[in-house]
Amino acid sequence: MSAGDNAAELQERVRAAAAARTALRPRGGGSKDFYGNDPRGEVIDTRRHAGIVSYEPTELVVTVRCGTPLAELEGELARQGQMLAFEPPRFAPQATLGGCVAAGLSGPRRAAAGAVRDFVLGARMLDGAGRDLVFGGQVMKNVAGYDVSRLLAGSLGTLGVILEVSLKVLPCPVAERTLRLDMDEPRALEAMNRWGGQPLPISATAWAAGVLSVRLSGAETAVNAAATRIGGEALDPAQSAAFWGDLREQADAFFAGDAPLWRLSLPSVAPMLVLPGRQLIEWGGALRWWKSDAPLGEMRAAAEKMGGHATLFRGGDRAGGVFHPLPPLLAKLHRGLKAAFDPAGILSPGRMYSEF
Amino acid sequence: MGEALVELNPARQAEVARALRAFLPARSVLWEVEDTRPYECDGLTAYRQLPMIVALPETEDQVQRILRTCSALGVPVVPRGAGTGLSGGALPPGDGVLLSMAKFMRVVRLDPLARIAVVQPGVRNAAISDVAAAFGLYYAPDPSSQIACSIGGNVAENSGGVHCLKYGLTVHNVLKVRGFTIDGDPVSFGAEGLDAPGYDLLALAIGSEGLLAVSTEITVKLLPRPQVARVVMASFNDVEKAGDAVAAIIAAGIIPAGLEMMDKPATRAVEEFVHAGYDLEAAAILLCESDGTAGEVEDEIARMRAVLAKAGATRTTVSRDEAERLRFWSGRKAAFPAVGRISPDYYCMDGTIPRKKLGEVLRFIAAMEKKYGLRCPNVFHAGDGNLHPLILFDANDADQLQRTEAFAAEVLEKCVAVGGTITGEHGVGVEKINQMCVQFREPELETFHAVKRAFDPKGLLNPGKAVPTLSRCAEFGRMHLHGGRLPHAELPRF
């Protein structure tokens, strides 16, 4: 896909759809078509609006058009020894930056480094009327106006067509090591939380089937010292990269099989959940994946009881909506925001919640 | 006096006071001038307005009833934390209620295993770290006013500090905000987990300058205190060289815990005040901090020194112990009061620029010093591009005031022109509302107003702040083009 500025054509398309009240669904590589409620509307393909607009490693900021493949962007950053610290999953090689921000999904490093929204500095977007809007900027600190660009992260294309995003980038860690420890779930939960309160360079954790994996990232001396303290068995670098890569892309064996995949986002200290199925824990205890046939009501109730929320991430019976229902007042605020950005309701209707 | 001056309507005052007194004790409703006077301004003292009424609730239930009452009566409400804000965000309403959250001073819960603290909005920023210290934890954002400013105000302004490059702003360190809308409906944004369903309303609420909701309880993230922190102080004989050195540090793959720059006029003002041990011959100094384990810090400091030396530092000094580290920082943190000692008044700007534009912007500021005949020392959050030039002036001299105002406006507009922003961490408030017309075009401003309407359709919560009306911008544009000066130049602003 050749890089280029296709904003004018995209704008024309949104304007026409707004005039005709035709639903549109912004789509990049389509790597996350499975995510969210069933997409409605004609596809508006963002892939021809592509390319890195500006990247200066010493500014720690990159500005990228929405159709740019994530692989291309991360490749360019890696050549400069930098990275997207939130480790976004791609789920398919053609995944784009626009889709990454719209989906708002972050990978294994999230608990240590932050989520997509934490790294969004600015955005250019088309609203539901096709107006070309710019929010935020290319600088780390910016409090002029409401933080609309961070709001776009995870908005699933319902507020606008993301044209361009400026992201904060970080240097890749000098050293990285993965440790494996045999631990049952309660002990693993306790350990992850306890370590979180200590100055250790833990960049990712994952627990499944009695094994806790801990990734350390940082200066060589800090990684060595932490490895001694935590103990366990070290993986070789290739195994380590493959393990976290597979986890990030949900290519790990845990994710195989037809059972619905649930994503439970909970306080990290929430105790062990007893639910039917298999579980994988990430983010120091704050993210709990379940491969489970349990009914929607049971999963939501389990998450809610712990002060969290449940998402039907892949598969399963999606008739009841895949996202956790909002309390009435928040639902009202969502409708109000949707109306502010897309008064005609033409952008990705129903993808997040059926009512908008 | 600021331009927001509103005449008191005694009948309206009596009506609203009566309505509030129906459920609030006498101590919680103030309207006599001697009682409301202390609330007439925040940290931006040049704008003053007596509030019609000050309400000092003590419970969430009272906050809810105040908001319901005001909403029903159509009374504007302005929330206030510690009143240290520098942009007039808590400038009171002359026809409304100033809602002081000062009595919400409790740390409700601290969970060391979960590394969170649930605090009321009136809790001081530094007090959170004080309480967390017993568990080896702290709250990372550290605005220079941290001994006085409240966490509620930090949430409203998305406050930063000197350690943001590595540890982020308020938005990166708050998990959840509970509060009420202007209608008194309870809302909660975010979660004790790492995300919440739906739109990221937490990100939208943080930095919304009290225009979207009133917070009554805030859950913050606590971090483990690094084992060791040390700071390198580097001298440069040229300000631009110091700026290049910052880029060289980043290019070396180092993210310093703190990275600050001060120019010679700033270090001289500070040194007399706090004796921080700064190099007074240097054109600029950099403070570059490393934190982590002892070994990590030793390695990183060595790398930092090497990069700084290669970038042309004429001298580098590393803090030998914690006392010296704090002394090096004390000068930076005391920069504003220090400047306050050498000039009757000073005006602090807050623009952020891409770092590579530092030389250009500093040359521009130097040219403005000549153009307006006013001095302007610079302190600079170098790591994240946030500038705090301090224009020195005497507010009793009307001409100096006008020159200061025009000087500041030109600098902020320069920040926008080089790809930056008019405010990095102090907020727009009333102070920079005209410059919002420079940074944003009509469609973005319309969108901001639409966002506001989703939360507050009647526009009663902190009205007139943060986002200018389109007609104001039209007026500003006309005056700006024709006069080359800000509108209402006759009005003292600082």
Predicted pLDDT at B337: 86
* Contact criterion met (CB below 8 Å) for A33 and A311: no
Which parts of B284-401 are beta strand (E)?
284-292, 315-318, 345-348, 378-381, 386-393
Answer whether A80 touches B (CB < 8 Å).
Answer: no
Q: Report the pLDDT averaged over residues A246-275.
A: 97
Q: Is A352 exposed, middle or buried (0-12, 13-18, 19+ CB in 10 A)?
A: buried
- Alpha-helical segments (H) within B133-169: 151-157, 164-167
Within-domain flag for A341: no
For residue B394, give both structure tokens.
């005497």
* Contact criterion met (CB below 8 Å) for A111 and A47: no
Residue B171: list chain A partners with CB under 8 A: 118, 147, 150
Do A146 and A206 fall into the same domain?
no
- Cα Rg of chain A, angstroms: 21
* Optimal mutation site among B195, B303, B465, interface A, most CBs of chain A within 10 A: B195
DSSP A235: P
Give the whole-angstrom CA distance, residue A168 versus residue A172: 13
For residue B364, give both structure tokens.
């521009």
Do A217 and A90 fall into the same domain?
no
Residue of chain A whose Cα is closest to the Cα of B254: A171
Predicted pLDDT at A121: 97
Give the whole-angstrom CA distance, residue B14 versus residue B334: 43
Residue A323: list chain B partners with CB under 8 A: 197-198
Within-domain flag for A335: no
Q: What's the pLDDT tens digit per position in B20-30?
A: 999 999 999 99
pLDDT band at B14 (very low <50, low <70, confident <90, very high): very high
* Contact criterion met (CB below 8 Å) for A171 and B255: yes
What is the DSSP track for B408-421? HHHHHHHHHHTT-B
Do A103 and A213 fall into the same domain?
no
Stronger pLDDT, B483 or B163, i.e. the higher one: B163
The closest CB to that of A222, out of B137, B191, B296, belongs to B296
Q: Which of A129, A148, A171 is the last residue of a domain?
A: A171
Give the whole-angstrom CA distance, residue A181 versus residue B233: 42
Q: Is the pLDDT score of B2 beyond 50?
A: no
- The CATH number for A241's domain is 3.30.1360
Within-domain flag for A80: yes
Q: Is the pLDDT score of B415 beyond 60?
A: yes
Q: Is the pLDDT score of B13 beyond 80?
A: yes
Predicted pLDDT at B481: 52
What is the count of structural domains for chain A? 3
Residues within 8 A of A (CB atoms), B 122-141 only: 135-137
Within-domain flag for A352: no
Stronger pLDDT, B417 or B479, i.e. the higher one: B417
Answer whether B154 touches A (CB < 8 Å).
Answer: no
The pTM of the full predicted model, rounded to 2 decimals, is 0.96
Sign of CA dihedral A70, A72, A75, A77: negative
Which domains, ranges and CATH numbers included, belong to chain B? Answer: 10-100 (3.30.43.10), 108-224 (3.30.465.10), 228-337 (3.30.70.2190), 343-483 (3.30.70.2740)
Residue B222: list chain A partners with CB under 8 A: 197
Do A131 and A65 fall into the same domain?
yes
Domain around A291 = 257-314
Do A157 and A226 fall into the same domain?
no
Within-domain flag for A56: yes
Q: What's the pLDDT tens digit per position in B342-369?
A: 999 999 999 999 988 988 999 999 999 9
ipTM of this model?
Answer: 0.97
The closest CB to that of A199, out of B165, B224, B436, belongs to B224
Q: Does B352 contact A140 at a Cβ distance shorter than 8 Å?
A: yes
Q: Report the pLDDT averaged over residues B223-240.
A: 95
CA of B77 vs chain A CAs: smallest distance (Å): 19
Q: How far is CA A148 from the centre of its chain?
A: 17
Give the whole-angstrom CA distance, residue B426 versus residue A183: 47
Q: How far is CA B461 from the centre of its chain?
A: 19
Q: Which of A149, A171, A193 is the last residue of a domain?
A: A171
Within-domain flag for A350: no
Residues within 8 A of A (CB atoms), B 248-267 only: 248, 250-251, 253-255
Residue A262: list chain B partners with CB under 8 A: none
Do A139 and A263 fall into the same domain?
no
Within-domain flag for A107: yes
Sign of CA dihedral A14, B443, B425, B92: negative
Predicted pLDDT at B45: 87
pLDDT band at A229 (very low <50, low <70, confident <90, very high): very high
Q: Does A150 contact B168 at a Cβ distance shorter than 8 Å?
A: no
- The CATH number for A141's domain is 3.30.465.10
Average pLDDT of every residue of chain A: 97
Q: Is the pLDDT score of B376 beyond 80?
A: yes
Do A130 and A181 fall into the same domain?
no
- Alpha-helical segments (H) within B192-233: 201-205
CA of B174 vs chain A CAs: smallest distance (Å): 11
- For residue B64, the SS3 value is helix
Do A99 and A149 fall into the same domain?
yes
Answer whether A153 touches B (CB < 8 Å).
Answer: yes
Residues within 8 A of B (CB atoms), A 300-339 only: 307-309, 311, 323-326, 329-330, 333-334, 336-337, 339
Answer whether B434 touches A (CB < 8 Å).
Answer: no
Predicted pLDDT at A149: 98
Predicted pLDDT at B110: 98
Residues within 8 A of A (CB atoms), B 7-46 only: none
**How many other C-beta atoms can be found within 10 angstroms of the C-beta atom of residue B481?**
8
Residue A186: list chain B partners with CB under 8 A: none
Do A146 and A182 fall into the same domain?
no
Do A238 and A283 fall into the same domain?
no
Q: In this structure, which amino acid lies at residue A186?
A: P
* Contact criterion met (CB below 8 Å) for A339 and A14: no
How many residue contacts between A and B have a Cβ separation below 8 Å?
Answer: 258
Answer whether B469 touches A (CB < 8 Å).
Answer: no
Within-domain flag for A242: yes
Closest to B175 (Cα-Cα) out of B203, B216, B154, B146: B203
Give the whole-angstrom CA distance, residue B389 versus residue A144: 18
Helix (H) or strand (E) holding B183: none
Q: Is the pLDDT score of B222 beyond 60?
A: yes
Answer whether B144 touches A (CB < 8 Å).
Answer: no
Residues within 8 A of B (CB atoms), A 228-267 only: 265-267
Do A42 and A82 fall into the same domain?
yes
Predicted pLDDT at A269: 98
Answer whether B164 touches A (CB < 8 Å).
Answer: yes
Answer whether A274 touches B (CB < 8 Å).
Answer: no
For residue B170, give both structure tokens.
């308020």
Which parts of chain A are beta strand (E)?
24-27, 42-45, 52-56, 61-65, 82-83, 120-126, 132-136, 161-168, 170-171, 175-182, 202-208, 211-218, 233-234, 261-265, 278-282, 287-291, 309-314
Q: Is the pLDDT score of B334 beyond 70?
A: yes
For residue B456, give both structure tokens.
């507050």
Residues within 8 A of B (CB atoms), A 104-123 only: 104, 110-111, 114-115, 117-118
Q: Does B191 contact A309 at a Cβ distance shorter than 8 Å?
A: yes
pLDDT band at B480 (very low <50, low <70, confident <90, very high): low
Percentage, residues of chain A above pLDDT 70: 99
Closest to B53 (Cα-Cα) out of B119, B69, B120: B69
CA of A206 vs chain B CAs: smallest distance (Å): 16
B40-51 burial, b for 16+ CB within 10 Å, e for fewer? bbbbbebbbbbb
Q: Does B137 contact A197 at a Cβ distance shorter than 8 Å?
A: yes
Q: Report the pLDDT averaged over residues A290-316.
A: 98
Q: Report the pLDDT averaged over residues A166-179.
A: 97
Do A150 and A271 fall into the same domain?
no
Closest to A40 (Cα-Cα) out of A355, A267, A260: A355
In Å, how far are A249, A269, B172, B173, B406 from A288, measured between CA atoms?
Answer: 16, 12, 22, 22, 56
Give the whole-angstrom CA distance, residue B422 versus residue B351: 4
Phi-psi region of B83 (alpha: psi -120 to 50; beta: other; left: phi over 0): left
The closest CB to that of A197, out of B112, B292, B356, belongs to B112
Q: Is B261 exposed, middle or buried (0-12, 13-18, 19+ CB in 10 A)?
A: buried
Q: Is the pLDDT score of B491 beyond 50?
A: no
Q: Does B354 contact A326 at a Cβ distance shorter than 8 Å?
A: no
Sign of CA dihedral B150, B155, B156, B160: positive
For residue A216, give both structure tokens.
């350390």
